[in-house]
Structure 1
Amino acid sequence: MRPQKIDDTRLIEGLMSVLQSKGFEGASLNDLAQASGLQKASLYHRFPGGKNSIALMVLQFVNDWIKDHIYLVLTDKEVAPAKKLSRAVRNIRDLYQNGEKSCILNALSLDSGLVVVGDEIGKAMQLWIDAFTAFGIEQGFTPAQAKAKATQSLILVQGSLILAKGLGDPAYFHKAMSDLEKLFNNS
């Protein structure tokens, strides 16, 4: 029998969905195989390092997503600042399905003892902060003000996702996204 073929994006999204909902420790290989569309043996073949390799691949996807959908959007010199911020906010809304999805960075940081996972989570968060810092500087804030606002943007989004999940109300996420847009208003 030929190995099952699966689209990489679908594979990553399926694996990420399980990790978002169950965390690293809570996700079983059976859960991951089912969500990925692969047989367990195929999952082992593709990820010989098991869940560690899966978590690292998902985090690389997240880093690439932040680079493409936040960093490159917010640092594009050919787009008006208001449009860049609006586009970045829309991308964040899409990623977290308007507050219905948990944050993968939070899910993996809670219970994974893997140092390398922590390093990748830190890289993703730093890339986010760098993107919003560059945007804030472009908006006329001092580097210190821009970095503080960038850090606050991460806290707003991540904190609101935790509240939305914990209290079962995505309104916290919606409010945070509105507050994020106001955060960089230089009036």
Structure 2
Amino acid sequence: MTRTVFEKPDVIPLITEVFRELGYEGASMSKITSRTGLSKGSLYHFFPGGKDEMAAEILAHIDQWFVRHLFEPLEQNEARAAIDHMWQEVDAYFQSGQRICLIGAFALDETRDRFAAAIRQYFVRWIEAFSAALVRAGLSREAADVISEETIAGIQGGLVLSRALHDEAFFGRMLANLSQRVSTALSASRSVE
């Protein structure tokens, strides 16, 4: 039975979950239609460019969420509050490690070459936004850059291990450890001042 969808924004979350589950290569048009309940005609109506257009729009949709909920707050809000907010948003978005980072997953296979600019920009902006907040909170640029890179790598690795170990609590522990490292670094920078 096909599903009635009236707007493109209604379709993107449905297709996103198919890509999360099957990856880019595994998400054939027939699997997308069967798993979403959308007809091929509906899919091509919303995405005339087919699967590449779907993936590009999904990446843009994810990026917009991160810009609104993480990157802009890290760049513009009071630094410590923005950093605390980041931990909460990351945990909620990735459903405590049960939802993969689709952009990260795309970075791991040949899909990366198709969407290299979008994938790179997502990670670069996150690292730079977090680093900027750390600098405003009192770290040197060099220390902030190192901690930011290690933190984003830790989040991505935590997602992989949480799923690989089938341990729903792992991601929460990883975020708590990363948060503690950041807090310790910020406290140490204050005591030096």
The equivalent residue for 2:64 is 64
Change (3 A) 1:34 1:7: farther
Distance in 2 separating the partners of 1:114 and 1:157 = 19
Q: Deviations over 1:120-148 (max 9, x none)?
A: 11111011111101111111111111111
* DSSP-derived class of the 2:100 partner: coil
1:1-187 counterparts in 2 under 5 A? 4-77=4-77, 79=78, 81-113=79-111, 115-185=113-183, 186-187=186-187
Q: Deviations over 1:34-58 (max 9, x none)?
A: 4545321110221122111111111
Identity percentage of aligned residues? 26
Q: Is the 8 A contact 1:153 1:180 kept in 2?
A: yes
TM score, norm. by length of structure 1? 0.88
Q: Which amino acid aligns with 1:170?
A: E
Distance in 2 separating the partners of 1:173 and 1:95 = 12
TM score, norm. by length of structure 2? 0.85
Unpaired runs of 5+ residues, structure 1, are: none
Change (3 A) 1:164 1:114: closer
Distance in 2 separating the partners of 1:129 and 1:6 = 37
Change (3 A) 1:169 1:156: same
**Aligned residue-pair number:** 183
Q: Which amino acid aligns with 1:67?
A: V
Aligned-pair distance for 1:67? 0.9
Q: Is the 8 A contact 2:155 2:175 kept in 1?
A: yes
Distance in 2 separating the partners of 1:153 and 1:112 = 25
Distance in 2 separating the partners of 1:65 and 1:105 = 12
Unpaired runs of 5+ residues, structure 2, are: 188-193
